[in-house]
Structure 1
Amino acid sequence: MFNKTMMAGAVLLAALGAAQATEGGGSIYPHGVENYMAGALPPPGVYGMVFGNIYNANRVNDSSGNNLNVPGFKVRANVVAPRLVWVTGAKVLGGDLLTNLIVPLVDLKVSAAGNSQSKTGVGDMTVGLGLGYHHSANLHSVVALDAYLPTGRYTNGDLANIGRNYAAIEPVYALSYVDPQGFNGDIKLGYIFNQRNKDTDYRSGNEFHFDYDAGWGLGNGWTAGVGGYYKQQTGLDKQAGVELANSKTSGMAIGPSVKYDSGKGWFVTAKWQAERNVKNGAQGNALWIKAVFPL
């Protein structure tokens, strides 16, 4: 799926003439996308999901987290990402087998140093396989392997790109505790193995990250709390096979998060998150909406 900071690489390269962190501080994963019920698999069937994202940023930070004060720097991204999930009904290693496909639709505008560029189209798609487990009436988990495909439009040197021009593989573990009138908590952990961008001979370092939320069931289908993400690049970037010093990105986000469960098989979550302590990347805020419904 398209990530809200993926355009920061082009901004840094074009406006600053320097390569920094996962080819500019972005990621192929949309940090903070997941919310309540991240690890709670529904019964066998086909399900539709829609993720919506509005992201804005007006600063980009260096390796110490200081604002680089790029003149006129601004990012606006609107994303609608349909997701199709099939819970097959088959059992593998004691878990319920699932497969999924995500196709992000992106509207992006980037401005920096007196230049501006906009692009719209399909971003980098995601396909995956997973196993879901129900440990109790309240505790659930999913183990999965996702593959990110370089399907998004990319032109080397452009200020705005809606694809990262490389593939990635990510093992995922998600855990959910669900109580309609008590504590609710979710965490989705992943480790991203980034591949090489053949047009720039640049390979971003691998990344550890997690999305999280914690809230309280208020009854009548409502849950309220907080949510966000944490990210940390674990390896240095490489350009033409040479490691780049001070090229790791990191950061976090936190904000209010709510869920409404209809009790009829569909639910909606919403989250607003403010990014903090970002190093080697853009820093802004995002509104995330997730809707899940049976087909």
Structure 2
Amino acid sequence: MTLQHSFRLAALLGTTLAATPALAVNGHYVPGIEGLSAAAAPPAGLYYRAYLMRYDIDSFRDAKGDAAPGSNSGSVNALAHRFIWMTGKTFLGADYGVETIIPMLDVELDLDVAGRSFDDYGVGDVFVGPVILGWHGEQWDATFAAGHWFDTADFDADNPASAGKGYGTTMLTLGGMWHLDAKKTWNVSALSRYEVKTEQDDTGITPGDSWLVEWGIGHRLENGLELGLVGYDAWQLEADEGAATTAKAERHAIGVEAGYLWPSAGVMLKGAAYHEYDAEGGGLKGLESEGDAIRLQLTKFL
């Protein structure tokens, strides 16, 4: 592996949460930040949601899934602020809303493969979503959303821990949830994100399109506590245009989640832990991280 590839390997790592990390496969959105019931848009009103995430990198994997030589590790601590406004208006039979996400990152990488360590912290690239559409049936929910991650954060092509990515990303969202019983104590859900990127000005590389799915199987107990199995699968669908390699990244993880809603306080709290069991690197990064993530999610109905 060349030193140039080593510098690139984490240029996209942990740069923003989406809500943001476990780390994005090759775009802005980081899978694992939503979990159970993520595919159901909330009722009319204004919401604040905070995502606090810790991602510990155990190793970096190449295009064959093999670990890079040496001791390569790192961590990402991220806090993302998300504001959602469901307007009370409808469009195409769906509840209509808008959103924005402001992520804050602290990234540290210790890379034997590059012969040095890297770090950065600060505000990441900002997301603006002018479209949220939520449909609701007796035992099902469906959501479509569209928005753009703007290239607003600082980016250094020589620092793979940069808080910014150096390019923008248009993100399309589609998801659904099905309640398995009339009392809605059991549910299955899937939320997918498709990302299309712009050219990274500092390198002239345009990252390939990517697609990911977050899924969950949840059960709500009589006391209101919801428990479930969660996971995510993410794929880079196209090779990076202008890169030295045609390899494409991917990542897969499984985990558990618990959540509780306090209706009188207008507060919902969720916690989840994920283990990544497979990762393959490629494209702009050269390598893909593999590790474990812990997420806390606080939602306040304003």
Q: Deviations over 1:113-138 (max 9, x none)?
A: 242232211011111121111112x3
What's 2:285 paired with? none
Matching residue of 1:293: 300
What residue is the counterpart of 1:94 in the other structure? 93
Q: Relative to structure 2, which stretch is displaced further, 270-279 or 176-185?
A: 176-185
Q: Which moved more, 1:18-27 or 1:161-170?
A: 18-27
> 2:135 matched to 1:133?
yes
Q: Which amino acid aligns with 2:293?
A: A
Q: Give yes or no for contact 1:20–1:247 (8 Å, CA) kept in 2.
A: no
- 1:134-149, aligned counterparts within 5 Å? 134-136=136-138, 138-149=139-150
- Specify the alignment match of 1:5 in structure 2: none
Aligned mates of 2:104, 2:7 — CA distance in 1: 29
Q: Which residue of 1 aligns with 2:237?
A: 234
Unmatched 5+ residue regions in structure 2? 14-24, 282-287
Matched residue count: 279
- Cα gap change, 1:50 to 1:44, in 2 (>3 Å): same
Partner of 1:206: 209
Corresponding position of 2:270: 269
Q: Does 1:36 align with 2:33?
A: no
Counterpart position of 1:80 = 79
Change (3 A) 1:99 1:93: same
Q: Higher mean Cα deviation, 171-180 or 52-61?
A: 171-180
Q: Does 1:197 align with 2:200?
A: yes
- Letter in structure 2 aligned against 1:257: E
1:207 offset after TM fit, Å?
0.5
Code of the residue aligned with 2:65 in structure 1: it is: G
The alpha-carbon deviation at position 246 of structure 1 amounts to 3.9
- Worse-matched range after superposition: 260-269 or 29-38: 260-269
Paired amino acid for 1:155: D
Query: 1:33-82, CA deviations, whole angstroms, 9 ceiling, x for partnerless residues?
Result: 1112212222211111111100010311011101012x342211111111
Q: TM-score, normalised by structure 2?
A: 0.85
Matches within 5 A, 1:45-194: 45-69=45-69, 71-113=70-112, 114-128=115-129, 129-136=131-138, 138-178=139-179, 182-194=185-197
In structure 2, the CA distance between the partners of 1:160 and 1:13, relative to structure 1 (3 Å rule), is farther
Are 2:251 and 1:257 aligned?
no
List runs of 5+ in structure 1 lacking aligned partners: 1-11
- Kindly report the root-mean-square deviation, in angstroms, between the aligned alpha carbons of the 2 structures: 2.2
Q: 1:124 to 1:234 in 2, by over 3 A?
A: same
Question: 1:130-174 CA distances to partner (integer Å, 9 max, x unpaired)?
Answer: 1111112x3212111021111222111113111111001111112
Structure 1 residues 132 and 120: CA distance shift in structure 2, 3 A: same
Distance 1:273 1:75, change over 3 A: same
- 3-state SS in 1 of match to 2:203: coil
Q: Aligned letter for 1:147?
A: H
Equivalent residues of 2:7, 2:158 under 8 A apart: no
- Cα distance in 1 for partners of 2:154, 2:53 equals 19
